[in-house]
Structure 1
Amino acid sequence: MTTVILADDHEIVRRGVRSVLQADGRFNVVAETADGLSAVQLAEKHKPHLMFLDLSLPRLHGLEALRQIRITSPNTKVLVLSMHNDEPYVIEALRSGAAAYILKGSESDEIVKATQEVLAGRRFLSAPLTEWAITALAVKTPDSSDAYNTLSPREREVMQLAAEGLGAAEIAEKLFISARTAETHRANLMRKLNLQTQTDLVRYAIRRGLIQA
């Protein structure tokens, strides 16, 4: 049986996807979560065949969670389930290793079709996302001049939590590190991104789609 993890911050979405998969009879949902950091941890623990992953997740943005899952559980096929149909999100998802990009609001049978395509080793994207664009975006190389690409996975985690308004002690508690280490990571990422204030950090995170305005 195909094992699945669902990661979406809306319980009703998780319930809907779970119902579709259970009705099919070939899937076993082994875990669910509402945040990106837990999604990474659960993927590493369960090593599922598939993970449905939202992009707009708290604690760790879906795109960064996707990157980390591809490292910690490389055999897990990640199917992005998102409301975003604009090119930047699709570009980054494909570049980060997504096996499918499904738009929320798609018909339920599209979810099953996506799993079939992905398990067969093929890529799947919702109909509005044209193949020519997908091919072009998938081969597009990352911008080496983008300072964000110089951040370590831990610095990206700290950045999102800090942008959400958490202090060093709260960040430390969530990431199981010391407050001093959290402060060091924050200082390093601020330097790498050439940011001076908390307001700069929040604005930067909003521009990158890591948090909602």
Structure 2
Amino acid sequence: KIQDLPDFDGRAEDWPMFAAAFAQSTASYNYSNFENNQRLQRCLKGEARETVHSLLIHPDNVPAVMDTLRFRFGRPELLIKCQLRQVREMPYISESAIDKMIPFSVKVKNLAVFLQSVNGQQHLCNPTLLEELVGKLPMSKKLDWAKTSSTIQPYPTIKDFSTWLSGVADLICTVQDSGRTHSTEPKRRVLLQTANNAREILCPLCHVGHHIFDC
């Protein structure tokens, strides 16, 4: 059975996974152009399919299909814009919603790793982008970052910010987990005490909750 490819409808954020699946499965199973053409016809949807519709009529066009899709949906600048948009769409974080820094740190980390993987050094060192990301933080964390960034030479980058932010998110997770543990302990003690009290006043004759002299 021929292994199917993941559906691809032209979203730039899905291109890396789709392209990797195509390349790796083709190499692993030694698929021919004919087999790959069948796979592409099944998995391409929407705008992606419309872009290469005329090329799918013949198996020999498979390399051209992938080149066209790569140029249209997989260019590094498109992928970078997609990653930047996802981070910029994250809401501003208030002091009362400090736990929102956890998903924000994940987004920033993904952005930093991605920019490194596509040699996006100009974006990693972009002070305007960094300022925009820092602007999402509550005031207390902005001050903490300002203190940290002042020690980074020659200048802080998105990677530095991501490393610092991940550390803050880890601390928030630790505090939250500790808070959940402490909040459940008093409830257990109350329940145990209630159970003990119930056993102490159980009548040995009728097994009802009163003293024996009231039976």
The structure whose residues are more often helix, as a share, is 2
Q: Which has the larger radius of gyration?
A: 2
Q: TM-score, normalised by structure 1?
A: 0.27
Q: TM-score, normalised by structure 2?
A: 0.27
